[in-house]
Structure 1
């Protein structure tokens, strides 16, 4: 596959945009050298690059486009609002409608405030927890990869340049699934931890009793329990992971699937905490969220349409069914090619990822590069296997064909104990690294 127009556009992007993309996970270093398409447009589960190639796309919009690109019901709702004005000097009635629709879908929350991205609402949850408890420390799950672009989190990663140690020192961490270790942390910093922040689930289901145990620990030690539902929201169930597992956090944050690609996120939670950012609390005020574009009418209309579609068309169940079909097919193909121990599908069916392991069963960026090169060359744009509801049976069948072709090359590389001849250039790299 030759991508001359994409190569030229990528070069120009690097001249104008730091990193060549507005999200690090979309960066050129995340794809095999020479196979980095620049997208022209998308429809349903397919995208086209500016060189005219069509791809079956997975993980669309970093998991945000779960209904498929240009979904007709979402576009209809957006167009209807665009003709009525996008932003006003006072709240529009769509803000009330959207809040009512969200809280009806996520009944474990009592109030909601909308914004444009997940980082802002998650940082707002941290600030609110600190204000509610009067405590300085935020405890995050160290096994979950990303919470916010803001200093309190990014300072804990390999890309901590520009962030004072004094800020980083206010964030502590605990391992997922280990109640004893979390209790030890809370005891060590007794009276200092404002909140426990985690994703309720990611690649593994929570151990039995774990989330309820976290709820009990938060109550016992006087801190808030905060669920990051950026990924789990809607994909796990219409009411998120909290609805699926039956554990109510004090605060939760939503985004990604909520807008089907349109910029909208939400901070939701219990009234007693959310009101501290309002006008009816009788204590010191919290500057919670105040964004010029947080209530753009077309984005809220998109969110309402997405919520309606998820409920009326049972989208969460469809995502699960599609993912089960894909995962079963990939496992069958990898077993048939003798690489089942090396190309491993993981995660909840609605949120599948894959691991690429070397001949010693260690995670390998080189083997990931090899696998991605074969996928992209075969017309599958798949940094993950995260499905959208727009995928067809034909899309999945074609994906499995390409996976089979990729596994044939993978097997050759394993036998040679060297993937280098099949890389086509430098290996892909992890997002979080200290140096380029």
Structure 2
């Protein structure tokens, strides 16, 4: 039987998780309800199945404990089972969860949200980010009468719906006519965006983007010369000064709706999202992930004159904005209000940045001391750190990522990214850096051999978006 110390030994064995993964694949397509949680994202036979979590730690069904990063795909920013959130949900449990008319909690949650994000005038809650972004796109098309959607091509994900997924390698089942209505623009390049808007003059309903990015992708092959353009700095994830304001001006001049996808930047950048931090107000914005600390809640927010088109108090054609049976489920709305209270009272955004800065400095020092500082690269804003694994030619490598993940798991660190939660303590960061140093020592050996294969013990991890399984 596995013990809590198993994850700290040289090798890791997960027999119960392996069996559970087989059961998952037999019953659930892909073996998970989110592709980014699939076992193909982890080294072969080392995809732990989780039993429970508390704070910054999770336990798998084999009994191993891990320090966890990227919790819930960035959604659990306060740590698992945060007391204030759990108590808020518990208070609602005996009061019912869904009624034939709106609960008073719906207006209270809306008031709290709009006080937190004062750049928005109305809000509508739903259960997942895809519903919110798709509603924003539908609304933009309705109010402009235009068919095309312009998405930022440098951001990896906006929605599970056809208008976006049709642009990815996993486009099976999506008509080409749908995909052709979606065009892309590069982050940070105002000239290219204006050229796109001019080329499709009067056709583009909206520009949708994450207002900040962790960094532009590292090359999978030697980079080609890039023309001069306004680009996002790679160190912090902040947009170049003037970029968002320039995008706002372009949207106004070309008559299209500006949509900020704040699923990641919301709360992690500031309580009011990137729009609150950078002072540029979009027409519409979408929030999720950190909003519920793991409870299912997301939001579409924006200008009153636009949002009212999905309501009852106007004389034009009705827009089917959002209508979800469980969108206003009271437990999740209570969780969202508790999250916002916690962020404000405990200074969570500042804590996330401080923890991330400590972690990034430690990982970079550990990598440099082992001679792999140019190969294990920590990037992004301190509250939203990711890492890249580069081969001997400094190209992104799934093989080296596999090696690195194996060593982290063996040391008790579950880290598909280095995105922190506020539940992490100094001891957790110190232990993570220690494990990273051990992993870097093995990484150096693989680089010296110019072949990581002997350290993989199976197939490499795979990209989420790929055409073939």
Q: Which residue of 2 is the match for residue 249 of structure 1?
A: 282
Q: Deviations over 1:120-155 (max 9, x none)?
A: 000000000000100000000000000000000000
Which SS does the other structure have where 1:354 is aligned? strand
Q: Which one of 199, 205, 212 corresponds to residue 210 of structure 2?
A: 199
Question: How far did residue 299 of structure 1 move?
Answer: 0.3
For 1:4 and 1:367, the matched residues in 2 are separated by 24
Q: Which residue of 2 is the match for residue 73 of structure 1?
A: 84
Q: Is 1:123 aligned to 2:134, yes or no? A: yes
Q: Which one of 173, 181, 199 corresponds to residue 184 of structure 2?
A: 173
Question: How far did residue 202 of structure 1 move?
Answer: 1.6
Q: Which residue of 1 is the match for residue 21 of structure 2?
A: 10
Q: Which one of 353, 360, 363 corresponds to residue 327 of structure 1?
A: 360
Aligned length: 436
Which SS does the other structure have where 1:429 is aligned? coil
Question: How far did residue 305 of structure 1 move?
Answer: 0.2
> Aligned-pair RMSD on alpha carbons?
0.4
Q: Is 1:361 aligned to 2:399, yes or no? A: no
Q: Which one of 111, 117, 121 corresponds to residue 110 of structure 1?
A: 121
TM-score in terms of structure 2 length: 0.93
Question: How far did residue 194 of structure 1 move?
Answer: 0.3
Question: How far did residue 208 of structure 1 move?
Answer: 1.5
Question: How far did residue 339 of structure 1 move?
Answer: 0.4
Question: How far did residue 335 of structure 1 move?
Answer: 0.8
Which SS does the other structure have where 1:100 is aligned? helix
Question: How far did residue 198 of structure 1 move?
Answer: 0.2
Any stretches of 5+ residues in structure 2 without a counterpart?
A: 1-11, 215-236
Q: Which residue of 1 is the match for residue 42 of structure 2?
A: 31
Any stretches of 5+ residues in structure 1 without a counterpart?
A: none
Q: Is 1:370 aligned to 2:403, yes or no? A: yes
Q: Which residue of 1 is the match for residue 305 of structure 2?
A: 272
Q: Deviations over 1:25-59 (max 9, x none)?
A: 00000000111110000000000000000000000
Which SS does the other structure have where 2:151 is aligned? strand
TM alignment of 1:390-409, pairs within 5 A: 390-409=423-442
Q: Is 1:297 aligned to 2:330, yes or no? A: yes
Q: Which residue of 1 is the match for residue 374 of structure 2?
A: 341
For 1:174 and 1:295, the matched residues in 2 are separated by 34
Q: Is 1:231 aligned to 2:302, yes or no? A: no
For 1:281 and 1:178, the matched residues in 2 are separated by 37
TM-score in terms of structure 1 length: 1.00
Question: How far did residue 282 of structure 1 move?
Answer: 1.8
Q: Is 1:211 aligned to 2:222, yes or no? A: no
Which SS does the other structure have where 1:47 is aligned? strand
Question: How far did residue 165 of structure 1 move?
Answer: 0.2
Question: How far did residue 283 of structure 1 move?
Answer: 1.1
Q: Which residue of 2 is the match for residue 50 of structure 1?
A: 61
Question: How far did residue 377 of structure 1 move?
Answer: 0.8
For 1:210 and 1:106, the matched residues in 2 are separated by 21
TM alignment of 1:305-320, pairs within 5 A: 305-320=338-353
Q: Which residue of 2 is the match for residue 430 of structure 1?
A: 463
For 1:414 and 1:205, the matched residues in 2 are separated by 32
For 2:199 and 2:213, the matched residues in 1 are separated by 27
Q: Which residue of 2 is the match for residue 414 of structure 1?
A: 447
